């Protein structure tokens, strides 16, 4: 499953964007998102320019539009919510295609849609050009709390193992004639989940022993020295800088 | 022999591993070891045989200080296993666990092999050299960039061996090295182990594998060393094996020299 995710999001390549150190890209995406969120919702043309900026990054990274669009499915729940707001919103009503909608609601929906979409596309571009483990190296490099980074790292590594264990337990259940039909089967599923938890917990203990055996003292050693040059920082931060310039004009 | 000065072993006469009068009871009171005595010389390959529940794993846990002796002592290359020597000891004892998924916890093979040496403070080119060397010794150099969960079981076990080889241990301790391996993977691992120039202690109940790889064997049974001698002689003694719940597989005859 984890492996599947890797192939789903990451698009192997050797573009200038792929080659940037992850810490630069992480910070660039974060800064870009902050600028986007800070933009007043009335500045339609600013959002248009942001989209053009992202399209330019995608072009440099050679990430095809289809790749980005398909992965935007993650945004769907927010979109549905955004569509609901004008319908249930209060205040001044306007008539659109025969529907009576709330004007403040429309503004709120536009605000959510535009900003979320830009944020999601920026993240997809980050994920398409950076392997998950490298993203974590970048996070480590940016001195994010090391415990959180380690937890994410182990999740990445053991997701496959745990999903495999879950699958074996399901096969074992089903080969003895079990089929989850209705609520009466919930206790069985719950017990399986409990067993899975205990197995994972015990594996965690064994992994910890293995780590201790190789001299682990509480922090992950930095294996790859990935220092970023000024040029790399500058090229990564060009995206939020350009967005900031747009924002400056919009204000 | 039990009181050894804390100094790195320099002469060839120091044994890789010395265990003397080691006894241990689990916190719940179950006594697992009742006074184990053994010594393994530098460069030896020794098999530790014993039925399930004989205390093999408990003994292994003492070798790098995961458990601390209730009574007696463990000395590795002249350094006693104590709270204050743990860091040093863990560098000297390379433990290869039974399930490689427990041992390979980093995102790629290369990172995993680098974990131990990086904890010991190696960086940059020197770290690369150690990692490349260890992977080359187990024939897994081409897989350095791969995530461990994309490898076959046999490959994972070989990488697990590389992770501890990278620490240049005094002694390599393998827990059931042949478990879950198909015959080809089993043979490949045997070839690798034979090619290594380190002391090996192999914990197993796979008697043919012990015979194939180790000149000498110990039988651990009921928490004590019940026999110690050339593997060939121990395995030929049917009475001894039966007494300790060990059996050669059906149809297996000890090949003549």
- Could A221 and B102 be called an inter-chain contact, meaning their C-beta atoms sit closer than 8 Å? no
Answer whether residue B146 shows pLDDT above 80: yes
Is B124 an interface residue toward A (CB < 8 Å)?
yes
- Report the alpha-carbon distance of residue B212 to residue B255 in Å, rounded: 10
pLDDT tier, B2 (very low <50, low <70, confident <90, very high otherwise): very low
Answer whether residue B75 shows pLDDT above 90: yes
For CA atoms B191, B196, B200, B203, give the dihedral sign: negative
Tokens of residue A183, six digits: 């609520």
> Do A120 and A63 touch, CB atoms closer than 8 A?
no
Top pLDDT among A215 and B161 is at B161
Give all domains of chain B, ordered by start, each with its CATH number.
Answer: 17-100+170-243 (3.40.50.300)
> B 219-238 residues with CB below 8 A of A?
none
Non-local (6+) Cβ contacts of B42 within 8 A are B12, B14, B15, B16, B170, B199
H/E element, A110: helix A103-129
Q: Tell me the mean pLDDT in the region A214-232.
A: 81
Place of tokens 């827990």: B175
Least confident range of A178-182, B23-27, B223-227: A178-182
pLDDT tier, A141 (very low <50, low <70, confident <90, very high otherwise): confident
End-to-end CA distance of chain A: 45
Percent of chain A's residues with pLDDT above 90: 36
Indicate the average pLDDT of chain B.
Answer: 89
| pLDDT tens-digit series, residues B167-212 | 889 999 999 999 999 999 999 999 999 999 899 999 998 999 999 9
H/E element, B106: none
Q: B67: nearest CA in chain A?
A: A209
| pLDDT tens-digit series, residues B111-121 | 999 999 998 88
Answer whether residue B44 shows pLDDT above 70: yes
Contacts of A207 in chain B (CB under 8 A): 102, 105
Q: What is the DSSP string of A213-246?
A: HTT--SS----S-----HHHHHHHHHHHHHHHHH
- What's the pLDDT score for residue B12? 56
Is A168 an interface residue toward B (CB < 8 Å)?
no
- Report the alpha-carbon distance of residue A170 to residue B5 in Å, rounded: 56
- Could B105 and A206 be called an inter-chain contact, meaning their C-beta atoms sit closer than 8 Å? no
Answer whether residue A196 shows pLDDT above 70: yes
Is A1 an interface residue toward B (CB < 8 Å)?
no
- What's the pLDDT score for residue A97? 75
- Could A214 and B93 be called an inter-chain contact, meaning their C-beta atoms sit closer than 8 Å? no
Sheet containing strand B199-204, edge to edge, reads B93-96, B171-175, B199-204, B45-49, B216-221, B224-230
| pLDDT tens-digit series, residues A40-91 | 988 889 999 999 999 999 999 999 999 999 888 888 888 888 888 888 877 7
> Do B54 and B31 touch, CB atoms closer than 8 A?
no
Is the complex ipTM higher than 0.90?
A: no
Answer whether residue A216 shows pLDDT above 60: yes
CA-closest candidate to residue B48, choices B237, B242, B253, B214 = B214
- What's the pLDDT score for residue A212? 85
Alpha helix positions (H), B79-182: 86-92, 100-103, 109-119, 124-137, 153-165
Answer whether residue A3 shows pLDDT above 60: no
């Amino acid at each position: 499953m984890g492996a599947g995710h890797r192939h789903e999001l990451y698009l192997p390549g050797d573009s200038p964007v792929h080659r940037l150190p992850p810490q630069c890209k992480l910070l660039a995406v974060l800064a870009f998102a902050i600028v986007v969120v800070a933009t007043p919702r009335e500045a339609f043309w600013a959002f248009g320019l942001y989209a053009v900026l992202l399209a330019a990054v995608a072009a440099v990274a050679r990430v095809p539009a289809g790749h980005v669009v398909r992965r935007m499915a993650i945004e769907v729940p927010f979109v549905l919510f955004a569509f609901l707001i004008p319908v249930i919103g209060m205040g001044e009503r306007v008539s659109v295609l025969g529907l009576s909608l709330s004007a403040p609601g429309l503004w709120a929906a536009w605000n959510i849609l535009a900003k979320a979409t830009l944020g999601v596309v920026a993240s997809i571009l980050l994920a398409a050009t950076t392997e998950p483990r490298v993203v974590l190296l970048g996070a480590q490099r940016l001195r994010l709390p090391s415990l959180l980074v380690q937890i994410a790292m182990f999740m990445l590594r053991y997701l496959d193992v745990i999903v495999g264990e879950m699958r074996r337990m399901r096969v074992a259940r089903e080969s003895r004639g079990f089929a989850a039909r209705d609520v009466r089967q919930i206790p069985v599923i719950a017990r399986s989940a409990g067993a899975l938890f205990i197995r994972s917990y015990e594996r965690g203990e064994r992994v910890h022993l293995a780590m201790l055996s190789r001299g682990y003292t509480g922090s992950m050693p930095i294996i790859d020295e990935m220092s970023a040059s000024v040029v790399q920082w500058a090229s990564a931060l060009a995206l939020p800088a350009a967005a900031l310039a747009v924002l400056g004009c919009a204000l | 022999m039990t009181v050894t000065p804390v100094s790195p072993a320099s002469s060839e006469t120091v044994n890789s591993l010395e265990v003397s009068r080691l006894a241990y009871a689990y916190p719940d009171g179950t006594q697992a070891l009742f006074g184990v005595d053994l010594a393994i010389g530098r460069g030896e390959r020794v098999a530790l045989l014993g039925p399930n529940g004989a205390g093999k794993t408990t003994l292994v846990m003492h070798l790098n200080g995961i458990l601390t002796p209730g009574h007696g002592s463990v000395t590795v290359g002249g350094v006693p296993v104590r709270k204050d020597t743990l860091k040093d000891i863990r560098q000297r004892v390379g433990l290869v666990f039974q399930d490689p998924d427990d041992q390979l916890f980093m995102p790629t093979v290369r990172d995993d092999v680098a974990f131990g040496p990086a904890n010991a403070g190696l960086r940059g080119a020197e770290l690369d050299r150690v990692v490349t060397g260890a992977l080359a010794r187990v024939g897994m150099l081409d897989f350095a960039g791969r995530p461990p969960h994309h490898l076959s079981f046999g490959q994972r076990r070989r990488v697990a061996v590389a992770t501890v080889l990278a620490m240049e241990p005094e002694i390599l301790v393998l827990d059931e090295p042949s478990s879950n391996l198909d015959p080809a993977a089993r043979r490949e691992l045997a070839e690798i182990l034979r090619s290594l120039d380190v002391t090996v202690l192999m914990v197993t109940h796979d008697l043919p594998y012990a015979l194939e790889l180790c000149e000498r064997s110990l039988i651990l049974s009921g928490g004590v060393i019940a026999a110690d001698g050339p593997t060939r002689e121990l395995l030929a003694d049917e009475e001894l094996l039966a007494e300790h719940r060990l059996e050669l597989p059906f149809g297996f005859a000890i090949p003549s020299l």
